[in-house]
Structure 1
């Protein structure tokens, strides 16, 4: 309500909507001219939050949650109640592979190979974004933008060196980052190296430190990671700029799975000496070219060609009475070659201007699993049978978009159209058939600026998700135990339609955005089990397009400058955000487990006018998720909670910055609802899924 109040005579502050984003239109646009709700977390905010992971980076973003914890870390993101492979992850325009988790806790290939210290921004496009980014953006897209030389080199600078060091008590992790940049004549270069060494992310200290399924503490884990990002740019002339990019991430960890120690599955089958050794790698190399031509076809052309490889190697060791000492080695690998080209053209007419963007993308991806089991007591090695055969996939996309400024730029229209074609080809030895599908997705958005302080917006957008390799070809036949899983290459893409409306205000002392949304999903891919075959009394399972769902809700965010409005010290401000959503399965009317409970974040901050010191107090309030909030009302309830976080910085010298933070200051015991999905209320190990209690962190950065 305060944000809506006018104030005619006050010094203008930077607003929530002055920032420029790329994810909403594939071109740089001010958020105030975007017809949908888009969030951006910039490098300065990441430093302020002392964020050391993607989950920590989005902790204060309404309607957004990172999922996953424990041995395999981050498994994905949840945007407005949709998660997993229905959210697209992109790094510098490069599509990231979908996650693969067949269950059994011995194989999990997910998005846990990204270094926060390399990022200039995280942009979150809420709602379907397939007209911009193609398949997998069914529920939204997250774009990670890594730093460029120009991001750290001020105008006129020829060199830049920054050393950062930090510690986080939540996982006892130390980090060191070295950031180098150089500008020489037409050349620019950047190199960022980060090393981390830590342990498991702690659960609340009240959990029992015992072995077995009732264990309440996190399993002991040690890890170290290395990330190197290198960029080299050459400005040939005013028209042509060329760039090279290389990045390598590697993480190794060892875990003692004490929660399985002494666990008896059946007589004679008791787990002992249960450990895990994992290695995750991601590498990419790319070439890009920007051509500023200002001809009849385009003003600017950008294209890039990239190769990316990601690999997960998991070794799960144990001793049982039946098998003796063994190691179940489970490896998975994705390799892709990606090409992306975009043309941008500005057209001026008497009625207004048109920012036209069009282009194409092509991706070839190879996916392969490699399984084997070592029986050390027997001295034998048994080749494993991966659930999914080796397969290739191809994606081709063509898009066009018109971003229009009309009525003296008071009216902003955005219309987009994209066609995508997807083909999956399993290895011939599997005996499975090829899959093909395509989709045409549309988007239409409008922003109307009633005056300089008040605007409204609305958007209709569509999304789709082609079935993944494992959904198409996962097959397993265990006649001895009476069950089987069959492939289904005839699956159709999942589809979504989204309607969004909102209001924005920008007064000289406040900014506000209020948005309501309704998302409709069809052709959800779900597992169906048939028990009619007497040879398989435990059932035959197959994936089918049978699911339908809807999610609707309201989000609000605002910033209020206390100095101009109330006469507080210069640099004082307050923030508030809130996200409310409801979702249901349209087939049976049950709730969707992936929808978050009501969440609100309030912050009170201060920045010295010369950035010498400052701090923020953030209070995060989350309602309970229980009973009929779950599809299964016997699911373990996630209690409501309130978290108090305090962060501060101090600059004792011009180029030296010390940051410190105290998180969950009141030592609340709480759970993220995403970690309790599928757990019964009487599960003895629920404490093991709790989040850290009171913890702290410190960062020190020196710029030469």
Structure 2
């Protein structure tokens, strides 16, 4: 840790020394992102922490999914492991539907997790090989994106034809293949793009075939709750992404997008064999067969109007559907051989229109962005229990009724450039209206709620290479269908779960200040934040006549605060190392508590830092990097008997080479020191007596290799 602190201190000294301002070299702060303002803007003009992971970063780190793509980003973690894969993303202590995820501006459905192992509708259906970037807005951003952006926003941007083509008429074709040792996955795919005149087209296909992600112990062949290895699964996926754009004339451009993702996972659940929740109810021969899919179709239109009301208009209409089917096979003493079939389908139709207008005055320029958003969702689950011994079936336990929901919003943002663009002020407001309608047969009433959010921030550029920023922003999250309408009367077993359609939206207020510097020797980003949350939805239980009655209520308040530092040094400028040698360091600290109980929040990540040393040859023909991730222990939980997460240090090695033109070979050795460790989020709610703690470990030493050839 002392070496890390020395590197950070050196970065600070270098970044704040006069020599850092002597150059206008391009840095990460000149990168263009979308999440900060809903339109393309340089990070340096955004008064908030915005992270961008490029397709090159994803490829260099040999990432096979979103979790691996984001693993080095401070303050961000991806949750979910085992049979159902990625569940959600945590940003600065906020997770689940409190973080909004979008693909090309299309909002994604939050994971549905009713608790039982038989059913999940997870966010495990994104193909990283289609992405040109992942952008993370690390704070409440509801004025930009509405509900669920309470704690932040993640935007997955897929590739366009222009990302693969040169100017003028051009064609591109590339093939890729790879292997990942942590889950024995083989990958094969291709991408093709063409521009002929005013027409651009693109097609990307990726196939993956592997098994479960290993736990640290990969040799335990036993069955039962003490099994140490991950349950075996065969997993394969297909993803097809197609796009076409046509430039009608100088003012109008239209585009079509189609994407289809499917994932199948099949395997024995050996850790459940022999499980006996009660006398006479023993599980044997347990297995699962899961099919998950996501498909979307979209149309978009851009109009360069240059009229009095707006200079530009971009609108898009998208339809998306997510489906999941889980077959849960087992044999029990009570029911014999059976299949608990669980299926769910959620579809969404989304319309978004965004107008842009620039107003120039003597001493300022205003970039206005305004528009509206409409989202219509349909949610439906179906459960059936099949009993093969008796050749009978019955409906499974009802959870959430078939429901519809609608979101309607209008928004306005003004980005003001002052003092010869040295000062940039960003102000925004948004009004959202939310409505949920359960099926009439449920007997539950409709829900209506709304929210008004605002943000105000500013950036001041002392020089071209040094700036500071500050921002106040608000966020909100409408209650989910699950939180409002999940109900179950099981009083014979001593509990009742009651629906509550009267829940109010959760709210947040965020304050952030930061400093950015870059120049000849490196760059620096320092941010500090304080987030205040209220109306948190929490389940409360009251015992009435020896029956536990549980209901969701707006009872919780919380605060989270912290600081993040990121620095990069060009070592060839600092210590005369070979040209292309660099060092990077990032540190993320966060703290916070439930304001009612004073206890630490389970979602708070422990102190985390990443230190990297790398080299890229000036000719970009080869390069390598070593990444060292250091995570402190987590021993403060809301439940005192929660298992502590021990601290750990993990070392990853990656390298790439281009032996001939257009051929790139990448290889990586991950967890090179073969460290046994747990990620804190995988131990939330775990007790010393909880079974399967060994199965929650991360993979030991493993390797990966990718080969890509572009024609």
TM range (shorter): over 0.9
Q: 1:6, CA displacement in angstroms?
A: 2.2
Mapped partners of 1:347, 1:354: distance in 2: 5
1:124 to 136, 142, 146: 136
Paired position in structure 1 for 2:700:
693
Cα separation, 2, equivalents of 1:426 and 1:447:
45
What residue number does 1:512 align with?
A: 524
Choose which of 405, 421, 443 in structure 2 pairs with 1:431.
443
SS at 2:504 equivalent: coil
User: Which range moves more in the overlay, 438-447 or 260-269?
Assistant: 260-269
Query: What do the CA deviations read for 1:7-27 (whole angstroms, capped 9, x no partner)?
Result: 179665331211111100101
Match of 1:477 in 2: 489
**Equivalent position to 1:549, from 547, 553, 558:** 558
Matching of residues 116-515 of structure 1 within 5 Å? 116-156=128-168, 158-205=170-217, 208-515=220-527
Is the CA contact (8 Å cut-off) linking 2:283 and 2:332 kept in structure 1?
yes
Corresponding residue SS for 1:567: coil
Secondary structure, aligned partner of 2:277: strand
Q: Distance in 2 between matches of 1:685 and 1:395?
A: 41
Q: Give CA deviations for 1:573-607 in whole Å, capped at 9, x if unaligned.
A: 11111100001000010110000000000111111
What aligned pairs does 1:15-164 form with structure 2 within 5 A after superposition?
15-156=27-168, 158-164=170-176
- Give the secondary structure class of the aligned counterpart of 1:264: coil
Q: Which residue of 2 aligns with 1:526?
A: 538
Q: Which residue of 2 aligns with 1:578?
A: 587
Segment of structure 1 superposing worse, 593-602 or 147-156: 147-156
Deviation at 1:406, TM superposition (A): 0.3
Contact preservation (8 Å) 2:600, 2:638: yes
In structure 2, the residue matched to 1:664 is 671
Distance 1:630 1:206 in 2: 29
TM-score (norm 1): 0.98
> How far apart, in 1, do the equivalents of 2:72 and 2:94 lie?
18
Q: CA deviation at 1:3?
A: 2.1
For the 8 Å contact 2:487–2:497, the answer to whether it is kept is yes
After TM superposition, what 4+ stretches of structure 1 lie above 4 angstroms from structure 2? Answer: 8-12
Match for residue 597 of structure 1 among 600, 606, 618: 606
**Counterpart contact for 1:371–1:384, Cα < 8 Å:** yes
Deviations 1:667-698 (A, max 9, x none): 00011100100001243421100000001000
Residue pair 2:584, 2:613 contacting (<8 A) in 1 also = yes
> 1:11–1:564: 8 Å Cα contact kept in structure 2?
no
Cα deviation, 1:533-588, whole Å, max 9, x if unaligned, reads 21xx2401111000100000000001111122322111111111110000100001
Give me the whole-angstrom Cα distance separating, in 2, the residues matched to 1:266 and 1:472.
Answer: 31
Q: Contact (CA 8 Å) 2:413, 2:429: kept in 1 or not?
A: yes
Distance 1:266 1:486 in 2: 25
Counterpart for residue 673 of structure 1: 680
Tell which deviates more after alignment, 459-468 or 256-265.
256-265
CA RMSD of aligned residues (A): 1.1
Provide the rounded CA distance (Å) in 1 between the counterparts of 2:644 and 2:222: 23
How far residue 660 of structure 1 moved from its aligned partner, in angstroms, is 0.2
> Residue 112 of structure 2 aligns to a residue in which SS?
coil
Q: Deviations over 1:79-138 (max 9, x none)?
A: 001111100000011011121110110001011111000000000001101000000000
Asked if 1 retains the 8 angstrom alpha-carbon contact of 2:21 and 2:519, the reply is no
Matches of 1:164 and 1:509, distance apart in 2: 35
- Matched-pair contact (CA < 8 Å) for 2:238–2:261: yes
On the 8 A contact 2:22/2:519 being kept in 1, the answer is: no
SS at match of 2:183: coil
Q: 1:386, CA displacement in angstroms?
A: 2.4
Is residue 571–residue 606 contact of structure 1 (8 Å, CA) maintained in 2? yes
Specify whether residues 157 and 602 from structure 1 end up closer, same or farther in structure 2 by C-alpha distance, changes over 3 A only: farther
> Secondary structure at 1:82's aligned position in 2?
coil
Shift in Å, 1:152: 0.8
Moved more, 378-387 or 407-416: 378-387
Does the aligned pair in 2 maintain the 1:636–1:682 contact within 8 Å? no
- What's the CA shift for 1:209? 3.8
In the other structure, the counterpart of 2:7 is: none
Q: Give the unaligned 5+ runs of structure 2.
A: 1-11
2:192, 2:248 → 1: CA distance?
A: 23
Name the structure 2 match of 1:569: 578
Are 1:12 and 1:509, in contact at CA under 8 Å, matched by a contact in 2? no
CA distance in 1, matches of 2:116, 2:58: 35
Give aligned pairs, total. 699
Q: Distance in 2 between matches of 1:249 and 1:407?
A: 49
